[in-house]
Amino acid sequence: MKDPVCGMEIEEKGEVFSYNGKDYRFCCASCKWAFENNPEQFENES
C-alpha cells in the first residue's frame, strides 16, 4: 500500500482518513494533514 501524498510504501497500521467512501492510509500525520486539506490533489494518484 502506498501513501497517496509522498508515495512511500506503508503498512495498514498507519494514519487513516476517509474521503468519498474510501479509506486512505498515510505514513505520518503530516501526509494525512496535507491530504485532508486538499484531497482532490491526491485522490486519483493513489
> Average pLDDT, stretch 1-13?
89
The answer as to whether 46 is a domain residue is no
Residue 45 or residue 14, greater confidence? 14
Alpha-carbon 34 to chain mean position: 8
Dihedral sign for Cα atoms in the order 46, 40, 30, 20: negative
For residue 19, what are the domain limits? 1-39
- pLDDT at residue 5 in the model: 95
The answer as to whether 28 is a domain residue is yes
Q: Name the band, by pLDDT with cuts 50, 70 and 90, for residue 43.
A: confident
Dihedral sign for Cα atoms in the order 42, 44, 45, 46: positive
Cell output for 43: 485522490
pLDDT at 6 over 90: yes
Q: Domain count of the chain?
A: 1
18 contact partners, CB below 8 Å, separation of at least 6? 24
pLDDT digits (tens, 9 = 90+) for 11-36: 877 789 999 999 999 999 999 999 99
